[in-house]
Amino acid sequence: MCGIAGAFQFNGPQPVEEKTLRAMADAMVHRGPDDEGYYVSQGRELGLAFRRLSIVDLALGHQPMSTPDGRYTLVFNGEIYNHLEIRAELEAKGVAFKTHSDTEVLLHLYAHQGASAVERVNGMFAIAVWDAEDKTLFLARDRMGIKPLYYAVQNGSLVFASEIKCLFKHPQVTRELNQDELARYFTFLCLPAPETLFAGVKKLRAGHRVTIKAGGSFPAPERYWNPLPTAQSTQTEEALVEELRDLLHTSVKDRLMADVPFGAFLSGGVDSSAIVSIMSQLLDRPVETFSVGYKNDSAFNEFQHARDTAKRFGTNHHEVVIDHNDFKDFLPRLVHHQDEPIADPVCVPLYYVAELARKSGVIVALVGEGADELFFGYTFLNRVRRMVEKWWRPLSETPTWMRAMALGMVGPFVDLDRRDFLRRLKDGGEPFLGGAVTFYPEELKRLAPRLASDRSREAIVRDLYAEYDATQPKDDFPNRAGYLETMYRLPELLLMRVDKMTMATSVEGRVPFLDHRIVELAFRIPGALKVKDEVPKSILKKAVAPYLPDSIIHRKKVGFHVPVTRWFEEVLAPMADDVLFSPELEKLGIWDQKVVKELLAKQKAGSGNYGMRIWSLVNFGLWHRHWFEE
């Protein structure tokens, strides 16, 4: 795991300066504290920078790495799990290797196959390859978007990096708020690629690549992978269960590739417990496991479940307990490491459990992200599914005036979630907008009327559903909703919080459930097998049943949450008063301060649960203060 950065004057007059590359690399030392490297092309039109967290081939594997003839030079952040297999194939073609690193394998694979090399590898990565002969730069992001890659194009210059903060070390990249995207942030907690909240700063979409040629223009990135099948599987449930079990076992085994200590984040739920179980089978020593919990908040703690799993598999278990003071203390660093606001408070406990791993000597940690999105594991998804089957489908066949009447008659007497559900039904919208919706249009209209008028905030949802509907059964709600979650919320919220918070502590997070072979299989499995007899993640639970006791398989899902509401008085209330009503934010005129005060008053009075809404406002306010006011 590393950090990469670079600059390409593909149509610009200014040569690349190594001091600029060094400044960019210095901004992300936490991503790679073990080594650094730089490359400037002969014509000084291209420069690459690298920070290394040594994982494989600790003595060698230095980057940037060039082919012996000097034509190709590569930097990459990530891991290639099938590099030994590819290495053997390249050796059979006469390639001689100097190291045992996956970096060198990827470099020679690109030299042989060009842009299609990314279709051959299994792993997580952000890649940049310079072709000194053709004067081209190739960029790519892994299929699932596990690793980020940000870039800015201005005046014939391309600047790119693993983190946004690095871009601002380049003299041609300036900080400016992207007000056009605020509506999406306040609706979905994060922004869809390619946008960020910095104007002019983009992020490469998951599963996309782009080649930029000197003297040309910056082309539209192209998609090289889509998990949707040509048809759903006709295999029996038993055959699918066996295939899923075998793939998960293989995926965990692949992700144990490391020359440094590794472990796993353990909640005691199905996903993390399955990973630990398989690790314990594959290792000849106890698995290092790590859990985080909250002081005096038993409802949010899963310590006992994690301890039971740790005891069952004989792990060397570690725990860290945090409270509202830890939450408050970390917030200034949170917005620094997030780069762009990711309004998920889980970032805070995730940081502390990653820090615990690092302090315990563990550099690589396996995490359970992705299973709930792929296999329909969330409780809220099952609740929406029932609403779709009972209300949405029958009512969607009625005339528009009847749907409008239903909203008028029922809307005033139901909560906001159901009222907005009826609003979308009336307007011919979608029953499910994603698992991270904060402010609905009705709320946003009062809070920030200018933003509420922007209907583009739901365009990403419509576009993703259209991609799914083009080839798949529209009545398969579990897979249809799962595609939305997998293509949007997973890469830009959940995986980004893993990357940013683990790398903040110089720990590499690996996600076995997001091996692309498992993802492809998941979308071949009919949704009826994912939620069967009202049991979420039914087929996954059957696949891991040989590894886990019934007490884990069938226990009620808790999920990774933060007691934001309980910490409101200690942290959010005083912080909100300080941050949300600052003169700088008032000048921007984003929201109506009277409405914000009403929201805070309702939360203080206990007349509703507005903790996540307030947190999204505070997160933005802290972010704006850090990047624009200090």
Q: Which residues are catalytic?
A: 2
The C-alpha atoms of residue 443 and residue 595 are separated, in whole angstroms, by 10
Q: Tell me the three state secondary structure of residue 203.
A: strand
Contact criterion met (CB below 8 Å) for 56 and 508? no
Distance, in Å, from the CA atom of 7 to the CA atom of 170, rounded to the nearest integer, reads 8
Do residues 196 and 164 touch, judged by C-beta distance below 8 A?
yes
The residues, any chain, with a CB within 8 Å of residue 133's CB and separated by 6 or more, are 71
3-state helix, strand, coil in the chain (%, to 5): 50, 15, 35
Ramachandran area for residue 449 (φ above 0: left; ψ -120 to 50: alpha; else beta):
alpha
What does the DSSP assignment read for 249-281? HHHHHHTT--SS-EEEE--SSHHHHHHHHHHHH
> From CA 480, how far away is CA 465, in angstroms rounded?
7
Q: What is the 3-state secondary structure (H, E, C) of 537-559?
A: CHHHHHHHCCCCCHHHHCCCCCC
Residue 380: its H or E element: helix 379-387
Between the alpha carbon of residue 433 and those of residues 197, 203, 384, 482, the distances in Å are 21, 22, 10, 11
Q: List the structure tokens of 466.
A: 């259209």
Question: Cα–chain-centroid distance for residue 111?
Answer: 30
DSSP track, 22-47: HHHHHTTGGG-BSEEEEEE-TTSSEE
- CA 16 to each of CA 164, 348, 361: distance values in angstroms, whole numbers, following the listed order: 19, 37, 38
